[in-house]
Chain A
Amino acid sequence: MDNELSHPADGEAWKDFDRKYEWFANDARNVRLGLATDGFNPFGKMSSSYSMWPVFLIPYNFPPWQCMEQSNFMMCLLIPGPACPGKDMDLFLQPLVEELLNLWSGVPTLDALIGKEFDLHAVVIWCIHDYPALSTLSGRITRGYYACVRCDKNPCSKRLRNKICYIGHRRFLPADHIWRRKKDFDGQTEERAQPEEFTQDELMQQLARVEHVKPGDHPNNKKRKRVEEGQCWKRRSTLWDLPYWSTLKLRHNLDVMHIEKNICEALLGTFLDIAGKSKDSITARLDLEDMGIRKNL
């Protein structure tokens, strides 16, 4: 059925991959994997100075009810260390990428059903992680003005007194919407179009600019260099070495779980006015004053 989505195979990214690599799609035995990672502290709350990063591969060739089952996860890396690996992640990923390259070119495997040997191929179709880990894994910035990974050009970030916020969602409305002319949102009318994503060429340019960034305590890394305006990537992740990586439509999933959790906590904190969790503070009111809106608050 064209209208229904009930498995990743119904998604556009999967279908697009099939169109680009028909030879891969033609053999149903070829495996598609998701790469998941996150950090945790094995010592609980006792000592906070430890962070362990397992990397899982999750096969997607299962029916929906077996797909995300825990016993199907394959832990391929376990990265220990006192803190989050940060930009050293690439080094730790290298053995995995090497194996993935092997799997892409094909590994002779025995098909037990027909008793013949065939070349098994496998591909990583996307990564699963929370938002800070996206930056660790991919090298895309996830904080500051260019924090949104889907808005590369003209992001809707705005500087407030003590933080950066993302307002101006009127830009996503149709151009003739009546709210675009109202002044009670941020004191101004809104004419800008919605933010855009990089095209493939622009993305490659961005990555070419940061190719020299090396992991570890390289002497060149000591000094913080001035970043060019609009530079959204801070290093070229080793995942780009995979030949199919640049053709994927969706490389990094946005994690719905954490988005929901953060929104709900912010809402409850503000509603119930829980100290430390409420987004409504003196500076928040001062921001309103700066923008000249909602005079009654």
Chain B
Amino acid sequence: MKDDGNSYSIPHAPYKMTKAQISAFCAFIKNVKFPDGYASNLARCVSVDECKLQALKTHDCHILLQRILPAGLRGIMHKEIYEAIAELGNFFQQICAKKLKLDVLNRMRGEIPIILCKLEKIFPPAFFDVMVHLSIHLIDDAILSGPVQYGWMYPVERRLLTLKRFVRNMARPEGSIAEAYVANECLNACSRYFDDVDTRHNREGRNRERVPMSTCGLSIFQHGANLLGAPRLTYDEKDYDRMVWYVLNNTTEVEPFIEYVLQCKQYNVLICLSYKILALTSELCTCLQDLQE
């Protein structure tokens, strides 16, 4: 704080954004696109005057800290700040993984004090409440308990909302919950014995990763895809070339031919595509067309 005689002024701190930085950051958040089912629509959280993020849900914070802040602060904030936040995001990203590796955890045990020290250099001491401090103990806990998803509150909080919805008679909340809970348990127990009926336990996920729909024997088309949204794709000549390029470069069956061609190049022999490659490419083209339809 600076004393100007009669008044005090607070100088601008590097960890605070200026107006221009805030609007740049909010514009970035507004334009972020996520894969289906990955996160909620973050653009909704940007306030109308584009200078605030509001009504953030817990899962939004989860995504923001791990994925968005590291990317969004780049070029907006000072390099030191950006790097410290990116490392913190990366730390949480690794500790929230479905499968943890012991050697990675042991390495991270050395990293987290350094990250917190970097933050201590940037932010004022008032920033460091006990929650920030607790992140230093997460590694030891993860080694003891296994992946954090078996010990965090997400499923419990979801359950609380279900219980809250059970309350129909506001005068008797406990009674409504108990009654609905028993009914629900009975239905659950019964529905587990229905094999041929659609129940919530055998319903297929919204996003199926592996749908067998291949029409030819090539490895790249084996995994299949579940196409959502627009039924017809349109693309120009350039995109088509790119697709052919991608397929040719990512198919294991083509690799020996590419090597062969490269060897020919080394001996300064004119590159000529063998009949086999031609046959393959035409097969690929038909596959692509199949996919398109």
Contact = CB atoms under 8 A, between A and B. Distances in A.
A70 B144 contact: no
A4 B100 contact: yes
B217 to A, nearest CB: 31
Contacts of B181: 75
Interface string B83-123: 00100100010011011111101000000111011001101
Interface string B133-158: 11111101111111111111111111
Contacts of A163: 126, 129
Interface residues of B, number: 91
Contact of A258 (B77, B131, B141): B131
A128 interface: yes
B65 A264 contact: yes
A91 interface: no
Contact of B177 (A8, A10, A43, A78): A78
Contact of A184 (B51, B121, B150, B200): B121
Interface stretch (A19-27, A109-117, A277-285): A277-285
A75 B164 CA distance: 14
B125 A158 contact: yes
A259 interface: yes
Interface stretch (B8-16, B248-256, B285-293): B8-16
B124 A166 contact: no
A137 to B, nearest CB: 13
Q: Which has the most chain A C-beta neighbours within 10 Å: B103, B105, B134, B178? A: B134
Contact of B99 (A6, A80, A291): A6
A239 to B, nearest CB: 16
Nearest to B64: A264
B8 to A, nearest CB: 8
Contact of B164 (A6, A40, A126): A40
A73 to B, nearest CB: 6
Contacts of B103: 3
Nearest to B192: A71
A203 interface: no
A220 interface: no
Contacts of A233: none
B147 A6 contact: yes
B124 A259 contact: no
A3 B102 contact: yes
B98 A173 contact: no
A272 B174 contact: no
A237 B102 CA distance: 33
B126 A160 contact: yes
A297 interface: yes
Interface in B14-64: 15-17, 22, 25, 51-53, 56, 58, 61-62, 64
Contacts of B141: 250, 253-254
A71 B190 CA distance: 12
Contacts of A78: 174, 177-178
Contact of B1 (A13, A40, A289): A289
A256 B138 contact: yes
A13 B98 contact: no
A64 B136 CA distance: 26
Given A42-B173, A80-B174, A271-B15, A54 B151 contact: no
B273 to A, nearest CB: 45
A272 B53 contact: yes
Contacts of B61: 260-261, 264-265
B272 interface: no
A283 B126 contact: yes
A283 B1 CA distance: 10
A96 interface: no
B102 A54 contact: no
A165 B134 contact: no
Contacts of A250: 141, 144-145
Contacts of A261: 58, 61-62
Contacts of B163: 40, 42, 52, 54, 75
Given A166-B130, A264-B65, A272-B22, A4 B17 contact: no
A68 B140 CA distance: 22
A12 B141 CA distance: 9
A131 B142 CA distance: 17
A70 to B, nearest CB: 5
B170 to A, nearest CB: 7
Contacts of A200: none
A192 to B, nearest CB: 13
Interface in A261-297: 261-268, 270-274, 278-289, 291, 296-297
Across the A-B interface, the 7 shortest Cβ-Cβ residue pairs: A11-B146, A253-B151, A172-B113, A166-B133, A264-B61, A284-B126, A169-B116
Interface of B: 1, 10-11, 13, 15-17, 22, 25, 51-53, 56, 58, 61-62, 64-66, 69, 73, 77, 85, 88, 92, 95-96, 98-103, 105, 112-114, 116-117, 120-121, 123-138, 140-160, 162-164, 167, 170, 173-174, 177-178, 181, 188, 200-201
9 contacts: A12-B143, A75-B181, A126-B151, A160-B125, A163-B129, A169-B116, A172-B116, A284-B127, A297-B124
Given A166-B133, A254-B151, 18 more contacts: A6-B147, A12-B143, A14-B146, A52-B163, A67-B150, A70-B159, A126-B145, A128-B156, A167-B120, A169-B113, A173-B113, A253-B151, A254-B141, A255-B153, A257-B153, A257-B154, A259-B131, A259-B135
